Amino acid sequence: MQAEPKRILITGSGSGIGAGIARELARAGHEMLITDLDPGAAATVAAGITGTGGQATGLRLDVTSQQSVDALIAELDQPIDVLVNNAGLQHVAALEEFPMEKWEQLIQVMLIGVARLSRAVLPGMRAQDFGRIVNIGSIHSLVASAYKSAYVSAKHGLIGFARVMALETASANITINTICPTYVKTPLVEKQIADQARVHGISEDEVIDRIMLKPMPKGVFISMEELAGICSFLISPAARNITGQAMVVDGGWTVQ
């Protein structure tokens, strides 16, 4: 059973996973609010969606700024049905060489920003007695990798946050879940490949084979269609009692 068309806001959707999910959900008939720190990137993705007959608006949003979040919510003429917390970034370095301002930035974007925006949309969701929050986590919400201390800490935090919010929203028709995929071929992952090659002293091909795909028995990157399909399921009537869960999409990584 598919969800009726919803108004969906995706953070960090000017590129990468966010843009890919937005395009797929727009094809399913949902109205998309494309938000990004780069308003030009958001506008480009939105234009691509509307150019193929979908509904989309590009908006600037800085999830680390309460003022930016407040301004966006004030600009909207109706509540958000679905929030997809996707905005993210990566920095690969040993902790002793990890700039603390960069460490803090990753936490601000991928954990505090998630709380900030979820907090902002919840009153509207409660008022209409419907809301779905989907966090884009990672395999690193469940396991660790060397040289990614800030990223792993933020992504682990999403699971705990979702569990608490599942309890706080249990009396309303609101759910919150975290999708935890392994690697998706995006510009962020492409940069990680180069960074991992540098810190490990191996080639980029070896990074893909030995670090990214070897732990996955299925041995393939996750697709946008898979992520969008899981989002579609989580906002559908069939998933109304699924909340506070980690939806693991790891090709068998964590069953070993």
Please give the positions annotated as active site.
Answer: 151
Encoded tokens for 137:
């986590």
Nearest-angstrom CA–CA distance, 98 and 226: 33
Is residue 175 within 8 Å of residue 234, measured between CB atoms? yes
Would you call 167 exposed, middle or buried from its count of C-beta atoms within 10 A (0-12, 13-18, 19+)? exposed
Residue at token pair 């979702």 = 162
With CA atoms as reference, report the closest residue to 140 among 150, 130, 132, 131.
150
Q: How far is CA 211 from the centre of its chain?
A: 22
Is residue 221 within 8 Å of residue 184, measured between CB atoms? yes
**φ/ψ of residue 127, rounded to 5:** -65, -35
Is residue 10 within 8 Å of residue 34, measured between CB atoms? yes
Encoded tokens for 121:
């949309």
Residue at token pair 């084979």 = 209
Encoded tokens for 78:
């109706």
Is residue 100 within 8 Å of residue 153, measured between CB atoms? no
- SS3 of 121, please? helix
